[in-house]
Structure 1
Amino acid sequence: MLFAVIGISAGKTRDEIMAIYPRHKVFLDQFISRGEIVGVGPFTDPGGGNMALFRSRDAAEEFAKNDPFYLEGAVKEYQIKDWGDNMLD
């Protein structure tokens, strides 16, 4: 089972998001280097937001609580959902 962390956009401008991005990237890279993330990226539709797939709920929860995008207001809320990809079983 994987854990989807879905970020709901707070409606910040691209410039506001990019001002936070360097701190978000340093934070994110910690999870990537530990092999805890399967995939990550922004939604490209007008609603914005982002999603990451984690290998453990603990890592997903740590990310959702401490990501600079959340702490600095670019993401209004993170939702964590259990996700099963039957093709991986």
Structure 2
Amino acid sequence: MILYAAILNMVDGPMDEMLLDEHKAYLQQLIDAGSIFAKGPFTDHSGGLVLYKADSYEEAMAMASQDPAIVKGSRTLTLKEWRSNLD
């Protein structure tokens, strides 16, 4: 399993507020499927971070890019492979 960090930067706060329930429901589906390691908002309200569990960058990108906040443009997406140093 590889972890991918999806950095979701806020670009449209009012739209994002309208999409919040849809965004959370989408992520909950992926949590239930075992595809998310961790998630949460930035404390400065500038967006959030999702750590996806995937076998490839393409698989992680497919999940991250289908987030309603990305699809509808309230946030931008940066996706990076991430490795914990806690081993």
Fold conserved between structures, TM > 0.5: yes
- Distance in 2 between the 1:11 and 1:17 partners? 6
Superimposed CA distance per residue, residues 30-81 of structure 1 (whole angstroms, 9 cap, x where no aligned partner): 11001111110111125x11111111131x2123221111122210x21111
CA distance in 2: counterparts of 1:34 and 1:20, whole angstroms: 22
Identity of aligned residues (%): 31
Counterparts of 1:22-33 in structure 2, within 5 Å, are: 22-33=21-32
State how far apart, in whole Å, the 2-side matches of 1:9 and 1:44 are. 12
Q: Which position in structure 2 is the counterpart of 1:37?
A: 36
What is the CA distance between 1:12 and its match in structure 2?
1.5
Calculate the aligned-residue CA RMSD, in Å: 1.6
* Structure (1 or 2) with the greater strand fraction: 2
How far did 1:11 drift?
3.8
In structure 2, list runs of 5 or more residues that go unmatched: none
In the superposition, the TM-score normalised over structure 2's length comes to 0.81
- TM-score scaled by structure 1? 0.80
Q: Give the Cα separation in 1 of the matches to 2:74 and 2:3.
A: 24
